[in-house]
Amino acid sequence: MTLARATWPDGRPLDLPGAAPYDAEALRALMGKRFDLPCGDPWLLESGTAGHAYLDGARQAWLDHPEYMDFLAMDSPVWDLKRAERDLYLTALGDRMQAKTVLDVGCGIGRLTHPFLDAGATVYGCDGDLDSLRRCAWHAAGRAGRLDLFWTSVFALPDVQVDLAIACEVLCYVEDPVPVLEAIRARIKPGGALLLAMEARWGWATSPDAPSEGLDVALGLDGPLHIDGDRFVHVLEGEEVDEMLEDAGFTVESRLATHYFTTGPLEALLPTNLTREKLLALEEEARQHRIWGPLNRIWTVIATP
């Protein structure tokens, strides 16, 4: 699983200097190069089930639209939008941005990983998509902190202890998130916290990317949004998110309705030259609005064990 066991395509070990987690400076040797990680969960090698829908989609997207998948590249057409989305999550953390050790579950290409590296933290990133993990290492190279990466699923998390766990836009794709949350809780040190982002119940249906096959879910009383061969997503009311966390042994510290102006129900109205301050102000305005208030796209939650 770990970078310590990673190899080049011909089977040679990477032989990175030092030990895992690695000084990000050492990752310069990986930039732009293909490497392999041992698979930490054989489940990842399967496909075609509801639980694999998101992973199957990611694999195909790297073939069809790599410029959108690698959105940390400066020439990506969604680079600025993804940075704005990142700011929404990091702002919710407040002082917890000072965490020294972080577990990023579903880290992808490192949207939330890299700000912690820049602050000098040690980050353990895990994801089910190997192509995303490669980019995460490339984009991490030369930063200030230390990094280890794991090609594994949420069902086989690395055995680490951290100040902060992150699970943003990942557990909504898991059929039963509670056991995964329990496993995450076991990896958080006393006094630590979880940053969780889950798909909200109604806002997705008014977004430009809403699938026409989801009409029954949009008009019904509950989810999940499950379209065979396309997607499986939990869409939850805020109270359902709270209950899910409480079942896993967490206490909800805060739950914020995030309207996700960049890819949410108000995407088409997004102003040009959007600053971080303007985005946060718009989010607060939408949150208080009598019509748009309940149509948030995401629940952003801070919870403690």
Whole-number pLDDT of residue 264: 82
Share of the chain above pLDDT 70, in %: 100
Whole-number pLDDT of residue 278: 87
Q: Is residue 1 scored above 80 in pLDDT?
A: no
Peptide bond connecting 224 to the previous residue in cis, omega within 30 degrees of 0: yes
* Strands of 122-127's sheet in order across: 22-23, 146-151, 122-127, 101-105, 162-168, 188-199, 298-304, 251-258
275 or 22, which is more confident: 22
Mean pLDDT of 196-205: 94
Cα–Cα distance for residue pair 190/304, rounded to 1 Å: 9
Q: What angle do CA 4, 6, 7 make, to 5 degrees?
A: 135
Beta-strand relationship, 162-168 and 188-199: parallel
Mean pLDDT, the chain, rounded, equals 93
What is the identity of the amino acid at 45? L
* 224 within 8 A of 233, measured Cβ to Cβ: yes
* 181 within 8 A of 248, measured Cβ to Cβ: yes
Mean pLDDT of 270-291: 88
Could you give the dihedral angle defined by the CA atoms of residues 157, 163, 169 and 171, in that order, rounded to the nearest 10 degrees? Answer: 40
Closest alpha carbon to 300 in 291, 289, 287: 287
Q: Is residue 192 scored above 80 in pLDDT?
A: yes
Question: In which band, very low, low, confident or very high, does the pLDDT at 263 lie, cut at 50, 70 and 90?
Answer: confident
pLDDT tens digit sequence for 113-148: 999 999 999 999 999 999 999 999 999 999 999 999
Whole-number pLDDT of residue 272: 75
Token pair of 188, please? 């958080």
Token pair of 145, please? 């902190």
Residue recorded with tokens 């409480």: 246
What residue ranges define each of the domains in the chain, with the CATH number in brackets? 3-304 (3.40.50.150)
Query: Per-residue DSSP letters for 156-173?
Result: S-----EEEEEEESSGGG
Cα–Cα distance for residue pair 199/214, rounded to 1 Å: 14
Q: What is the DSSP letter of 271?
A: P
Question: In which band, very low, low, confident or very high, does the pLDDT at 276 lie, cut at 50, 70 and 90?
Answer: confident
φ/ψ of 214, rounded to 5, equals -95, 10
Cα–Cα distance for residue pair 34/170, rounded to 1 Å: 25
